[in-house]
Amino acid sequence: MTYSTDDLKRFLDIATEAASAGGAVLQHYWGNLSNIQTKGRPGDLVTEADKAAEKEVLSVLRLHLPNHAILAEESGSIGIQTDDLLWAVDPLDGTTNYTHQYAFCGCSVGLLIEGKPAVGAIFDPVHNAMFRAAKGLGATCNREPICVSDAASLADSLLVTGFAYDRHETIDNNYAEFCHLTHLTQGVRRGGAASMDLAYVACGRLDGYWERGLSPWDVAAGVILVEEAGGKVTAYDQSPFEIASGRILATNGRIHTELSTTLGQIKPFTRFAPK
């Protein structure tokens, strides 16, 4: 099915309302957490803020779109997917940062159409910044248009990446890539919130981002932000981005081939210390 510009505008407004409602909860609990638990792997945390924010996001989506299917980090699959639309919700992306009051996190609400990111709203509750984008409608931060940077080489770039929670269990842990690219660039940050990493690429504060081990809710909203801000999103080898792969390469477009080629040349460390 094809969706009109008016449909996309409506979905974007609903995503914005939902991210804003979730973000208000995150502002309420900031610095006031009493319940921090580990979900499974070491470092994978969940708090009362994650759960309460998700409740608010879901109630907004259900109010406006009662028949749409949702995939939410804390609640799993909700509703039966009867059409080509799926909402992907991360109520608090960057939970570890949030529990330490390290000011880099977001409430991320994305819409996939036929599995492809098409609409996204990410609210940064610490800086009151709402990032929004929808296919063909551009990308904004607090309603001002944003665009990717113009860095043209790795040597001129500031990158960001992340290390998935299974990093203790796999040699595909991204450590070699991180070290290698730290030598070739102006620096590689580890943001700790995938949605915000993508939002920062979209507004040109960072030039490129790569990561593996991601879930659809981490990136659904951020991918369309980068694309609509003039950037490029693919698999590491520049084949089309597949959200189910958990792997992403997102850049300003100009450094895409150089970063992809470099990632393809790096061999994982063969020795690592399991926890």
- Minimum CB separation of residue 100 from ligand IPD in Å reads 12
**Under rule CB under 6 A, residue 221 binds ligand IPD:** no
- Minimum CB separation of residue 4 from ligand IPD in Å reads 32
**Under rule CB under 6 A, residue 94 binds ligand IPD:** yes
Q: What is the DSSP letter of 155?
A: G
Would you state the structure tokens that stand for residue 56, as one six-digit string? Answer: 């608010």
**Under rule CB under 6 A, residue 164 binds ligand IPD:** yes
**Under rule CB under 5 A, residue 90 binds Ca ion:** yes
Give the angle 14-246-35 at the CA atoms, nearest 5°.
65
| Nearest alpha-carbon partner for 124 in 156, 150, 152, 146 | 146
Among 107, 194, 198, 220, binds ligand IPD (CB under 6 A): 194
- Minimum CB separation of residue 190 from Ca ion in Å reads 14
CA atoms of 223 and 77, how far apart (whole Å): 21
Q: Which residue's CB is nearer to ligand IPD, number 94 or number 117?
A: 94
Would you state the structure tokens that stand for residue 234, as one six-digit string? Answer: 């693919």
**Binding partner selected for residue 162 from ligand IPD, Ca ion, none, CB under the kind-specific 5 to 8 Å limit:** ligand IPD
**Under rule CB under 6 A, residue 108 binds ligand IPD:** no
Among 110, 117, 120, 192, binds ligand IPD (CB under 6 A): 192
CA atoms of 143 and 273, how far apart (whole Å): 46
- Minimum CB separation of residue 73 from ligand IPD in Å reads 6
Looking at this protein, which amino acid is placed at residue 128?
Answer: N
Would you state the structure tokens that stand for residue 207, as one six-digit string? Answer: 């030039």
Backbone φ, ψ for residue 134 (5° rounding):
-145, 150
**Under rule CB under 6 A, residue 90 binds ligand IPD:** yes
Q: Which residue is nearest to ligand IPD (CB)?
A: 162
- Minimum CB separation of residue 209 from Ca ion in Å reads 14
Q: Which residue's CB is nearer to Ca ion, number 191 or number 253?
A: 191
Would you state the structure tokens that stand for residue 215, as one six-digit string? Answer: 């879930």
State whether residue 68 is helix, strand or coil: coil
Among 218, 224, 236, 241, binds Ca ion (CB under 5 A): 218
Q: Which residue's CB is nearer to Ca ion, number 8 or number 18?
A: 18
Looking at this protein, which amino acid is placed at residue 13?
Answer: D
- What's CA 44's distance to the chain center, in Å? 16
| Nearest alpha-carbon partner for 246 in 254, 236, 238 | 236
Residues 6+ apart with CB under 8 A from 225: 120, 122, 131, 132, 133, 139, 146, 198, 199, 202
Residues touching ligand IPD, count (CB under 6 A): 14
**Under rule CB under 6 A, residue 95 binds ligand IPD:** yes
CA atoms of 191 and 209, how far apart (whole Å): 10
Q: What is the DSSP letter of 158?
A: E
Per-residue interface string for the shown chain with Ca ion, residues 65-84, x marking contact by CB under 5 A: --------x-----------
Residues that bind Ca ion (CB under 5 A): 73, 90, 92-93, 218
Residues that bind ligand IPD (CB under 6 A): 90, 93-96, 162, 164, 191-194, 213-214, 218
Could you list the residues known to form a binding site for Mg(2+), using ranges. Answer: 73, 90, 92-93, 218
Could you list the residues known to form a binding site, using ranges. Answer: 73, 90, 92-93, 218
